[in-house]
Amino acid sequence: MKQVFGVMGDPIEHSLSPAMHNAAFRELGMDCEYHAFRVRQKNLREAILGAQAMGFGGLNITVPHKKKALEFTNPDTLARRIGAVNTISFNEGIRGHNTDGLGAEMALWEAGVGIKSSNVLLIGAGGAARAIAFHFAEKGACVTITNRTPEKAEALAEDVGCRHAGLENLKGLLQDSDILINATSMGMHPHIDATIASRDIMHPDLAVFDIVYNPLQTKLLHQAELAGAKPIGGVAMLVHQGAEAFRIWTGQEPPVEVMRKAVLEGLD
């Protein structure tokens, strides 16, 4: 019998996860299907329990449900520390995981950028920023968090046990950084002319990672190119966080390049 997987969010029409995972299932000849489900937050518990009752193979959880989903799962250690779940497995009850931080690490690794002992300037304090901050700190990076709302940056830094700073000194912060990560929605379609930093405050030894993947080349990445820095786009994070979810659900090695191709075709 065909096994069903899915992603729950609200809104959900924009999700590229169905194309990505269905391409992986086809490539491996697995009798599985992946669908997107629009779920209101008030119905999230019942939706997760229903998926388990109907024998779903697993779920992804996306905006705005990642924090709320923690309440309805038995989270692993990292997901509990982050305070958010983006992947649910049903192999041992309802188990919560968070693969966003690993996805970000793998995106940098693909670009030849290591995070251990690196000075990372992370801009943002939302769900993705939390996952990246906890994961990178655990992997030995020296993380500094900044945000348009300083109180949010301070609160996240306190949770992680790392530093925080104000955006008003962005130029000075970047001069001391090896990696800049935009974990905000700035620059995302349709606001493609927005950027958190310009070329004049970057340096050539800087890796600039933008988790935004639509458009493929954000203004931030274009500015990084002009500065001679290393630009890293958000598609790789999307693919690798999905690939790790695939491993958790199936125990099989995912066809990463097939998944990446499906995402890129979906963005055309």
pLDDT digits (tens, 9 = 90+) for 110-150: 999 999 999 999 999 988 999 999 999 999 999 999 999 99
Matching residue, tokens 């935004």: 212
CATH number at residue 247: 3.40.50.10860
Is the pLDDT at 1 greater than 90, yes or no? no
Q: What is the end-to-end Cα distance of the chain in Å, rounded?
A: 33
Q: Spell out the SS3 assignment of 172-236.
A: HHHHCCCEEEECCCCCCCCCCCCCCCCHHHCCCCCEEEECCCCCCCCHHHHHHHHCCCEEECCHH
Q: Which secondary-structure segment (H or E) carries 107? A: helix 100-110
Within this chain, do residues 254 and 137 fall inside the same structural domain, yes or no? Answer: no
Coil, strand, or helix at residue 56? coil
Same domain, 126 and 219: yes
Model pLDDT, residue 262: 98
Residues 48 and 121 in one domain: no
CB 109 within 8 Å of CB 132: no
Within this chain, do residues 138 and 72 fall inside the same structural domain, yes or no? no
Q: What is the mean pLDDT of residues 24-44?
A: 98
- Count of structural domains within the chain: 2
The CATH number of whichever domain residue 163 belongs to comes to: 3.40.50.720
Residue ranges of E strands in the chain? 3-9, 32-38, 58-61, 74-75, 87-89, 95-97, 119-123, 142-146, 163-164, 179-182, 207-210, 230-232
Q: Is the dihedral angle over the CA atoms 136, 139, 143, 149 positive or is it negative?
A: positive
58 and 114 assigned to the same domain: no
C-beta of residue 166 within 8 angstroms of C-beta of residue 146: yes
Has residue 53 got a pLDDT over 90?
yes
Q: Are residues 111 and 202 in the same domain?
A: yes
Coil, helix or strand at residue 143: strand
Tell me the per-residue pLDDT of 233-257, one tens digit each, with 9 for 90 and over. Answer: 999 999 999 999 999 999 999 999 9
Is 66 one of the annotated active-site residues of the chain? Answer: yes
Same domain, 82 and 192: no
* Residue 241 and residue 229 in one domain: no
**pLDDT the model gives residue 89:** 98
- Percent of the chain having pLDDT more than 90? 97
- Do 105 and 227 lie in one domain? The reply is yes
The whole domain housing 154 covers 101-233
- pLDDT bin (cut points 50, 70, 90) of residue 50 is very high
> Strand, coil or helix: what is 55?
coil
Same domain for 241 and 118, yes or no, is no
Residue 145: DSSP 8-state: E
Q: What is the pLDDT of residue 207?
A: 98
Q: What is the pLDDT of residue 199?
A: 97
Based on the fold, state whether residues 12 and 30 are members of the same structural domain. Answer: yes
pLDDT at residue 110, as a whole number: 97
- Average of per-residue pLDDT across 22-39: 98
Burial of 53 (0-12, 13-18, 19+ CB in 10 A): exposed
Same domain? For 18 and 126 the reply is no
Q: Which of 66, 67, 68, 219 is catalytic?
A: 66
Contacts of 172 (CB under 8 A, 6+ apart): none
Band of the pLDDT at 268, cuts 50, 70, 90? confident
Instruction: Work out the burial of residue 28: count CB atoms within 10 Å of its CB; fewer than 13 is exposed, 13-18 middle, 19 or more buried.
Output: middle
Work out the average pLDDT over 41-70: 96
Tokens of 96: 């919560």
Determine the average pLDDT of the residues in 142-163: 97
173-205 residue pLDDT tens: 999 999 999 999 999 989 999 999 999 999 999
